Amino acid sequence: MNLNAANDSPPQVLIIDDDLQLAETLREKIFVLYGFSVVIVSTLKAASQLLEQNHQEFFVAFSELRLSDALNGEAVDLTLSYNIPTIVMTVPINQSLLEDLQDKNIADYVFKERDFYPDYVAGIAHRIFRNKQTKVVVVDESRSAMEYMCRLLKLQKYQVFEAPRTSEVKSILDLHPDVRIIIIDCFLGRPDALALTHYIRERYQKSQLVIIGVSRHGSHDLCAQFIKNGANDFLLKPFLPVEFLCRVNNAAEFLDQVHEIIDIGEHQNQLIGMAAHDIRGPISGNIGLMDLLLSRDADETKSKIYMEIIQKTNIEMLDLLNSLLDVSAVQSSTFDLNTSLQNFEEIVNDRINLYKPSAAKKNISIDSNLPEHNKVLMDPTRIKQVVDNLLTNAIKYSPSGSHIHVNIEKEALHLRLDVIDQGPGIPENEEHLLFGAFEKLSPQPTAGETSCGLGLAICKNIVDAHGGHIGYHQGTDQKGSCFFVHLPSTRLTDHDTAAAG
């Protein structure tokens, strides 16, 4: 999920359900796990009014099959009419009705009775969002069979390429080396299918690309031969649409998880290398000072100075290690958000009061504009880290006699926090280095304060985990800095209220 451009808003999910308690549970789960903004409506009338003006804002819709004013699935028909991938939410129904729903080209369906229902719904939303960047090749000599599989994949927003002949697959891979999944009909000339599978597996590891075989004339022997040649999975025709999509989605999830593990490992190795570099120097310096102390060549005054330097250096190294551990935790699976609804302005105001004495020591004033009643679903401890870092940076880099302004502004779907100082600002050619770990920029603290280069990286990871965005722009008149944070605000069935009116 890429929410890092300055003007990006969190991707939006639409829920149409008159069980508002369940809908709110789904909203929280989807937001906490993936950061998507969720709009809830409870009637067909409210959904119609919303989509008439804003249908392009939603990348997926979850619709209850029967609403109080739409007993025959009209809400499902409504979202489909706007080409929004639609997942039907319903109690268990008979197979005939399920087949009727699938004939409408719904993306999927979920039964509400399952214990893992909220997590499952959130996972579907995330999968469909990720599918827009997931490329799939379908290889089948039967035009009708190939078009059928392609249509199912497009319902869940996969990027799909058709290859009626095996020879076309190589050309597609040359043009699109980032293809993630290939579906091959194993009966399109059995030797050709097995040879193509072998060729693909020589070019891509199983952690890079998944191969799924399908066949109407399959056997246990064909399945075994296909997998021995490098396939990951095998599916017999005719298959149910939900069976086919579950296999493909599981393959996409497998690849995502592998890549996430690789990315985390590479990032942690990078952090360890940078930390070792930054710690080696101070340790060497401390060893030199300790040698002087042990040699007894230093008088009492110098010994005290050396010990103060050693103490200060040790504190700085401890701060660096704590920050390093924080970055590693935020970017790994050990990082969990403990979210609850919080008044954002109260948290910001408390942190301002905490740091006003530090600012006063440098003759720096802090004022604020913090409108009340701004509820945000957040982990308060983590968000305090973000506010702390922005405020301490503003104090650290601001000259004596300057001014810091803190502002909260309510936007359509977000709350925006601005921390504006009158410091030197960030040179334009260094702005791209902001929010990276251990990046060294040219602006220097104005009173000799230290910086480990991890604070803004931690802030970015925390804000990203909340489905928000952190950024920077120059202050007014090209002076000073403005660091801003967007956090999704909590909106409770606004469109229902408007529709009722």
Homologous superfamily, domain 340-488: Histidine kinase-like ATPase, C-terminal domain (3.30.565.10)
73 touches 66 (CB < 8 A):
yes
Per CATH, 133-239 and 340-488 having the same topology is answered no
Q: pLDDT at residue 413 above 80? A: no
Region 421-445: mean pLDDT is 79
| Structure tokens belonging to residue 332 | 């790994």
* Confidence at residue 326, expressed as pLDDT on a 0 to 100 scale: 67
Q: Which parts of 112-172 are beta strand (E)? A: 135-139, 159-163
Region 408-419: mean pLDDT is 86
Burial (CB count within 10 angstroms: exposed 0-12, middle 13-18, buried 19+), residue 83: exposed
CA atoms within 13 A on the CB side of 483: 26
Region 327-356: mean pLDDT is 79
Q: Does the 261-330 domain belong in CATH 3.40.109?
A: no
* Confidence at residue 498, expressed as pLDDT on a 0 to 100 scale: 43
Q: pLDDT at residue 334 above 60? A: no
**32: number of Cβ within 10 Å:** 19
Q: Where are the domains of the chain?
A: 12-129, 133-239, 261-330, 340-488
62 three-class SS? strand
> Side chain identity at 236, as an amino acid letter?
L
Fold (CATH) for 133-239: Rossmann fold (3.40.50)
Q: Any idea which of 65-74, 195-204, 289-298, 338-347 has the lowest mean pLDDT? A: 289-298
Rounded percentage of the chain residues whose pLDDT exceeds 90: 38
| Structure tokens belonging to residue 171 | 């050309």
* Confidence at residue 497, expressed as pLDDT on a 0 to 100 scale: 41
- Rounded to 5 degrees, what are φ and ψ at 65? -65, -40
- List, for residues 114-148, the tens digit of each pLDDT value: 656 888 899 999 999 999 999 999 999 889 999 99
Q: pLDDT at residue 9 above 70? A: no
Contacts of 343 by beta carbon, 8 Å cutoff, 6+ apart: 372, 373, 374, 375
- List, for residues 78-105, the tens digit of each pLDDT value: 999 999 999 999 887 777 787 788 888 8
Query: 238: cis peptide before it, omega within 30°?
Result: yes
> Side chain identity at 449, as an amino acid letter?
E
Q: pLDDT at residue 491 above 50? A: no
Specify which residues 138 forms β-bridges with: 162, 183
CA atoms within 13 A on the CB side of 338: 5
Residues 280 and 79: their CA atoms lie apart, in Å, by: 59
84 touches 14 (CB < 8 A):
yes
Residue 326 or 488, more confident: 488
Q: Does the 12-129 domain belong in CATH 3.40.50.300?
A: no
Question: 339, 323, 332: which is closest to 458 by C-alpha?
Answer: 323
Region 214-229: mean pLDDT is 80
- List, for residues 250-288, the tens digit of each pLDDT value: 999 999 999 888 877 776 776 676 667 667 767 877 888
